[in-house]
Amino acid sequence: MKIDIITVVPEILNGPFSHSIMKRAQTKGLLEVNVINLREYTTYARAQVDDYPFGGGAGMVMMIEPLVNTVESLQKTTHYDEVIFLTPDGETFNQKMANHLSLKNNLLMICGHYKGIDQRFRDHFVTKEISIGDYVLSGGELAAAVLTDSIGRLIPGVLNDETSALSDSFQDDLLAPPVYTRPETFRNWKVPEVLMSGNHKNIDQWRVEQSLERTRLRRPDLLKD
C-alpha cells in the first residue's frame, strides 16, 4: 500500500512513521508513506499557500491553486483510490472504515491547516472527508498519522501475528477483554484462574463474556444493534 500525505508542515510527520510497527511495515516493503510539502508546488512568492478569506473573517485559508498543482502532479504517476481530506466536519473515523481503507492500494491524504481549505478543492478533488473526533487540532497532520497507523497495521504481514488485529477493540463492535502477563501473582493480585487453566474453550468463553461486560459498562452505544 502507498499513502501520500500533503502538508504545509512536513516536520510534524517525521516521527510517527520512523519507529515501531510503521517502520517495520515500510522496511518489509508492505507500506510506503510519502510526506509531500505543499509549499514546493506553489507559484506564489515566499512559498505562500494561504490567503485571507473572501467575505472577511478571522484566520487564513489554504488556496486552491497550490493544492491542485500538487494533486495533479502526483496523479500523473499514481491513481488514488481515495483522496482524503482530514477535517473536523468529516465522517468520524472508526475501525470499520480502517478495515475498508486497508484494502486499497493508493491513498492520498490532505492535511488542512489555518482556517481550512478553499471549498472548491473539496468539491472537485476530495473523494472522502474524515474526522478523528469532535474536536479541533491545529492541522490535519496528527489525524493523518492516526489514520496511517490504524490502516497500516491491518495490512497482511505488518503484524508479527496477523490474528492480533482481529482481536482488537471495535473489530466485532466490542471492546477488547482485559489481558494479563507474568508474574501470575503480584502484591497478592492474581491473574484470573481461567486464564491459567489451559482450557481454551473456557478461556474463549471468558474473553467473550468480559468483552460484552466491558462494552456494556463503557460503550453501551456499541451494543444498540
Q: What is the pLDDT of residues 169-202, one digit of tens each?
A: 677 789 999 999 999 999 999 999 999 999 999 9
Interatomic CA distance for residues 192 and 187, integer angstroms: 15
- The fold of the 169-223 domain, in CATH, is Trp Operon Repressor; Chain A (1.10.1270)
Is a pLDDT exceeding 70 seen at residue 48? yes
d(CA 4, CA 103): 16
Q: Are strands 185-186 and 128-131 parallel, antiparallel or unpaired?
A: unpaired
* Position 225 confidence tier, pLDDT thresholds 50, 70, 90: low
Compute the average pLDDT of residues 132-146. 96
| Residue 1 CA: distances (Å) to CA of 50, 111, 148, 198 | 31, 19, 11, 39
Q: Give domain limits for the chain.
A: 2-152, 169-223
| C-alpha dist (Å) from residue 77 to 73, 123, 145, 161 | 8, 23, 23, 34
Judged against a pLDDT cut of 70, whether residue 162 lies above it is answered with no
Predicted confidence at residue 172, as pLDDT, reads 79
CATH class of the domain whose range is 2-152: alpha beta
pLDDT band at 71 (very low <50, low <70, confident <90, very high): very high
Task: Give the whole-number percent of the chain exceeding pLDDT 90.
Answer: 90
Query: Average pLDDT for residues 71-75, to the nearest whole number?
Result: 98
Q: Would you put residue 56 in left (φ > 0), alpha (ψ -120 to 50) or beta? A: left
